[in-house]
Amino acid sequence: MKSQDLIELTVRATIPTSSGCAVFLEGRQGKQAKVFIIYVDVGVGEALSMALQGMHKERPLTHDLIISIFKASGILLEQVIINDENDGTFYARLALHMENELGTKLIEIDARPSDCMILALRLGRPIYATAAVFEAVEDMSAVFERLVKERAGK
């Protein structure tokens, strides 16, 4: 995938909803900035919030286990790419780099965007959306700003 086809994203916030959690992602394509939402379940929302805040549980979560396996195996997470959206369901890929005595291997693995985002946040790696996904999602910037103001007023 060409780098000009990718829009870097920032996880702005996770906000609880009546049925789970809304993850607000922000990106910029040229002069156009946009915030969009991916909905996740409560447990994943909590894990994302913890990753955003740099917090850890006493015992490792599944994402911590995966990171330990990556480190033990010499695998580096290069980037996360949210590569598709279909009727409100998002799809993502983990781009991994592995180097050992047998050589270098670059692989992409299909995974839930929420899991990918947690790994990227924990490892300080970039999160991208394809230009097609970014163009297709609805801009929720006004909703996000309103929610931030409401939460600040509490």
Strands 127-130, 75-86: pairing kind: parallel
Statement: residue 102 has pLDDT above 90 = no
CA 117 to chain CA centroid, nearest Å: 3
- Give the Cα separation of 108 and 13 in Å (integer): 26
Q: Calculate mean pLDDT across residues 86-115.
A: 92
**CATH number assigned to the domain with residue range 3-153, chosen from the 4 options 3.10.690.10, 1.10.3720.10, 3.40.50.1980, 3.30.360.10:** 3.10.690.10
pTM of the model: 0.90
Statement: residue 32 has pLDDT above 70 = yes
Q: Where on the phi/psi map is residue 103: left (φ > 0), alpha (ψ -120 to 50), or beta?
A: left
Write down the pLDDT at residue 101.
81
Statement: residue 154 has pLDDT above 90 = no
Provide the residue ranges of all domains of the chain, joining segments of one domain with +. Answer: 3-153
Closest CA to 130 of 90, 93, 87, 82: 82
pLDDT tens per residue across span 39-76: 999 999 999 999 998 888 888 888 899 999 999 988 99
